[in-house]
Amino acid sequence: MASTQSTHVPKSELPYPPIHKDAKFVVLSDSDGTITSFDSNGKLFHLTDNYGFGNQRRRELNIETLEGKATFRDAFREMLASIPLSFEECTEILKRDIKLDPGFAEFYAWCKAQSIPVVIVSSGMAPLIRAVLSNLIGEEDASQIDIISNDVKIHENGKWEIAYRHPESGFGHDKSQAILPYRTLNPTPTLFFFGDGVSDMSAAQHADVLFIKLNENGESDLAKYCDKVGIKNIKIQNFGQALPIVQNVVDGAISVTEALEIGNVIGTQG
């Protein structure tokens, strides 16, 4: 996909895992509300909605971000600051409440069997993601998935705050920087990206095949953005709907262009 982003590369305050130089295909996916699936659409949003300032204010901030009136970095920091719980309490609540996307386990098992790397690219915090993922798919499988995200800073008084990977970026974590290094490889691997929200906007345009996961109401802030600016995508409700498309691309049965023409698989089995 053609890039319309600035060529400025934000400084990363956190290390990156090595890229998968020999892979012909790479899957990169958001975590909250994409790999995970439950009513509040994202585990950190779950905390904000149920323990912080609530869904209405969160949605207002999301809309301000979509309209360019606020940065995701500042809006997300405000959301997290409204949560009056310790980091340990947040971790236990999320381990209790978070559910895995119903198709992800099969999707991941197939990718693993095909030696296709799966990389989580998240605006969340690595300790939370690792704890929840280990709880959902087991520590062994979770340990084999690279996580590129933000971190957490816990103060002596017990208060905590997000430590952004790219604090100078309006995204806090510019997810495009996890994808772009693959574009410099020769040959370039085919990149599948899965996302659902405003934090995925910077990465969306750089995927070969973009899957957008809709929430239970059939909505997605990322879908609104991509449809508005003309970024082709495939809308899904779960990874089970994406698996046959990815399989067909990998097997050579369909091209990337043909995959994107599918557009919407809502209502199909999966």
Catalytic site includes residue 251: no
DSSP 198: G
For residue 182, the Cα-to-chain-centroid distance in whole angstroms is 17
Question: Residues 32, 101, 196, 208: which is the catalytic one?
Answer: 32
Residue 127: Cβ within 10 Å count = 16
Alpha helices in the chain (DSSP H): 43-51, 55-66, 72-81, 87-97, 104-113, 126-137, 139-143, 176-183, 201-204, 221-229, 239-251, 256-260
Catalytic site includes residue 32: yes
> How far, CA to CA in Å, does 131 sit from each of 91, 93, 120, 153, 245?
7, 11, 14, 16, 30
Question: Residues 22, 30, 74, 97: which is the catalytic one?
Answer: 30
Which residue type, as a one-letter code, is found at position 128? L
What is the three-class DSSP state of 159? coil
Contacts of 57 (CB under 8 A, 6+ apart): 82
Active site residues: 30, 32
